[in-house]
Amino acid sequence: MYRIRYAGEGDKGFWFSADKSMDEVTFESKVKNNMAYIFEDRQKKIGLLRYSLFSDHIPFCNMLCIMESCRHKGCGKALMHYWEQDMKAKGYAFTMVSSYIDEDIHGFYRKMGYHETGGIVIPDKRDDHKMEILMIKRLS
């Protein structure tokens, strides 16, 4: 039996073991503003999702992570669906995600009803500067 809930301060250890790209100040802000979720299966934490607002009005999933041993079992789909329903209940009409086009998650998002709406190359420490594909979904 799984449960999805907002992340809390007590989730910090699990969060930082899975999400290496966020600092503690941002984590505290996400917890305070209910912008982070924990996915539990039989009271074991196995996934997370966090979001921000793109252009201040479109929920944008910054991170979706399901522990590797639990993937391909519907957990990511359930977590995304929960988030989308929460965003719809808060009055949002769209949600957004992004991925590199060659990542497995790109296909997952397409199956979830997202479609490509553009792309951006963000310079970083890597030399390849892959394109990040932006995807959007109308909440119905």
Q: Return the residue matching tokens 């669906």.
A: 81
Residue 92 φ then ψ, to 5° = -80, 145
Output 31 or 100, whichever has higher pLDDT. 31
How far apart are the C-alpha atoms of 4 and 47, rounded to whole Å?
Answer: 9
Confirm if 67 and 47 have CB atoms less than 8 A apart.
yes
**What pLDDT was estimated at residue 19?**
92
**What pLDDT was estimated at residue 125?**
65
Domain ranges of the chain: 2-138
Secondary structure (H, E, C), 12-54: HHHHHHHCCCCCHHHHHHHHHCCCEEEEEECCEEEEEEEEEEE
Q: 2-138 has which CATH code?
A: 3.40.630.30
Residue 36: strand pairing partners: 50
* pLDDT for 110 beyond 90: yes
For 45-87, write each residue's pLDDT tens digit. Answer: 999 999 999 999 999 999 999 998 888 898 999 999 999 999 9
Element holding 11 (H helix, E strand): none
**What pLDDT was estimated at residue 122?**
77
74 in helix, strand or coil? coil
Q: Return the residue matching tokens 């907002």.
A: 6
- Angstrom CA distances, 96 to 22, 62, 69, 115, 136, stand at 19, 9, 26, 9, 4
Output the average pLDDT for the chain.
92
100 in helix, strand or coil? strand
